[in-house]
Chains A and B, each alone.
Chain A
Amino acid sequence: MPRALRHTLLVVLPVTLAAALLPLGYSNQLLLFNFVVFLTLAQGVNVIYGFTGYLPFGYVGFFGAGAYGFSLSVIHLHMAPLGALGVGALAAILLGLLLTPLLRLSGAYFAIANLAAALAVYQVVSNPNLTEITKGPYGISLSGVYHPQLSYAVAVAIMSATLSLAVYLRNSRFGLALQAIREDAVSAAMAGINVVRARTLAWLLSALVAGLIGGAFAWYVSVFYPDTVFSADFSIFAIVFALFGGVATATGPVLGVLILYGIYNAIGISTPQYFQLIYGLLIMGLVLFLPNGLVSLLKRRGIDVP
């Protein structure tokens, strides 16, 4: 059996089936929806950080762009939700294109500039001067298209596609090329990889993923404020979940979300500061002792992790 097929059967299929079937027997659909959102975002971070090495500290910018692209096209253009989802994705990709010059920055500078970019987008969207267009700080209400079942199903489909993307990158020449760029861009270029095109493509793919799930999020919750969808928590959680499990694999981010977001829901909602303390300590321990995440424990024993 080819490796990509085996990985699909091992990761994409079970996670998708679980997400699709759990609502039948479990009543807290919002919780499941949040899991789906973070599974997608963590894989989106995996695409750009895990494979390419750019740390997207402002990843939430794409999520917010997707949510607002979706909402504004429903409000102003009266579009059907599925079409509006396309507009959300387009908004995220346009933002990604606008930010491609940032990819010229290395390491820490990219992370900081990306964070600043996300905050700048938030400041523009929530500016009271633009209330006519974006509803400013007063938030969005989409009661007309509210449809929890359909939007949940769409989110699961987006998550499944994102997982497949991670499996594809894990097993393809393109994914290998991205990892070569991460290790050493100059050598990768010498080996015949078009560095600029490859990293731009990875960047736009991860923007697309966040934009789509952002649109689905707006559709599912249907009432939100700009600081909901531009909350730095989305970037940070997604990065920490992906790192905790182990990036550049399809399994790592899934494990990270299941474990850490599970803990978050157990203790983080009632006492967020204790969860913040735990994940702060986890991050520090991770960087110092296990920089390649949980899956590196398996990899060290020679196990092929999907």
Chain B
Amino acid sequence: MLEYALLAGLVFGLYFSLVGLGLNLVFGVMRIVNLAHGDFLMLGAFGAFWLFNLIHLNPIATVFLALILFTALGVPLYYLLVPRLLRAKDPEMLSIILFFGLSQVIEALATIVFGPSERSIPGRVLGSGPVQVLGQSFPAAWLASGVASALAVLGVYLYLYRTRLGYLTRAVMVNREEALATGIDVHRVSAIAFGVGLALAAIAGVFAPFMLGSVTPAMGVDLNIQSFVVIVIGSLGNPLGTVLGGIVYGVSLMFMQTYFSSWANLLPYVLLILILLVRPSGLLGRQVRRA
């Protein structure tokens, strides 16, 4: 029981790191809250579902397709929404409302196009039968999703720490004004980070049918909360801290589901409130409290 909860928690933790990663990247670079994050994840999930059903495309291939498509979608979307938003008096607050509006638009369009019913992809697509790890057996799809998430996180690490663009992106994260003053094209760097953030959400979405069960157009709201828990536990504005948050969240979720299953749904909410109240500056690394 204990080993199972721990190992499953680790796998889910890696997956939840990926779920939160895009949100944290966008927040870190632009200091705005993308409340439509969960809805981009949903779009990724539906993309994987339809491509699998129509042309039997393996979800792994969909990952690469999602990376390209959503980055390409994110860049114009950034120029459409964000520069105007950042000129407002309180961009962080207004971003919640703006992206809430966007999430409603996406959810409505997805309902119109896909219908409100639940969709799922059979788990055997990502490998057959249960796999034995340290004497515990897990569905192969879980392990495949966990490995893919780890690879995606590694990809973000390489992007941020091993490329010139990543170097500029980190400069914008540290201080937007100073980055601008040193001649960095802040909008271009931010637009790409925004696109990558959306693409990460969509990639997490591709694995959602295997990790989270069936998908519906309305799944976004709940995922937003979970993503928030993950990135708040880790470190808000620091994308790689998300991995820590994801693993803490995944392991505690599995423990709750194993030992107090009927109360497990309460965990993300309580965890989020407690962390915001108890360790707001320590864990987040920036002032979030007033007075």
Contact = CB atoms under 8 A, between A and B. Distances in A.
A276 B221 CA distance: 14
Interface string B256-291: 000000110110111011001100100000001111
A260 to B, nearest CB: 13
B73 interface: no
Contact of B269 (A111, A117, A128, A282): A117
Given A112-B228, A196-B291, A123 B265 contact: yes
Interface in A113-134: 113, 115-117, 119-120, 123-124, 127-129
B276 A287 contact: no
A232 interface: yes
B93 A104 contact: no
B88 interface: yes
B108 interface: yes
Interface string A264-289: 00000000011011011111101110
A120 B266 contact: yes
A123 B97 contact: no
A94 interface: no
Nearest to B115: A273
A115 B221 CA distance: 10
Contact of B101 (A102, A189, A274, A283): A283
B273 A55 contact: no
Nearest to B104: A280
B93 A107 contact: yes
A291 B93 CA distance: 12
A232 to B, nearest CB: 7
B277 A101 contact: yes
A284 B268 contact: no
Nearest to B116: A273
B92 A108 contact: yes
Contacts of A106: 288-290
B84 interface: yes
Contacts of A55: 93, 96-97
Contacts of B33: 108, 112
Interface residues of A, number: 47
Given A105-B280, A119-B269, A291-B94, A127 B289 contact: no
B108 A277 contact: yes
Nearest to B94: A287
Contacts of A288: 81, 84-85, 98
A189 B97 CA distance: 28
Interface string A219-253: 00000000000001000100100010000000000
Interface of A: 53, 55, 57, 101-109, 111-113, 115-117, 119-120, 123-124, 127-129, 185, 189, 195-196, 232, 236, 239, 243, 273-274, 276-277, 279-284, 286-288, 291
Interface of B: 33, 81, 84-85, 88, 90, 92-98, 100-109, 111-112, 221, 225, 228, 262-263, 265-266, 268-270, 272-273, 276-277, 280, 288-291
24 contacts: A101-B277, A105-B276, A106-B288, A108-B33, A108-B93, A108-B95, A109-B276, A111-B93, A112-B33, A112-B272, A116-B270, A117-B269, A127-B266, A129-B263, A185-B290, A274-B108, A274-B112, A276-B104, A277-B112, A280-B101, A283-B97, A283-B101, A283-B104, A288-B98
Given A115-B225, A280-B108, 14 more contacts: A102-B277, A104-B289, A105-B280, A109-B276, A120-B269, A127-B263, A128-B262, A273-B111, A276-B104, A276-B111, A277-B109, A280-B101, A282-B101, A288-B84
The 4 closest A-B pairs by CB, nearest first: A283-B101, A280-B104, A280-B105, A277-B108
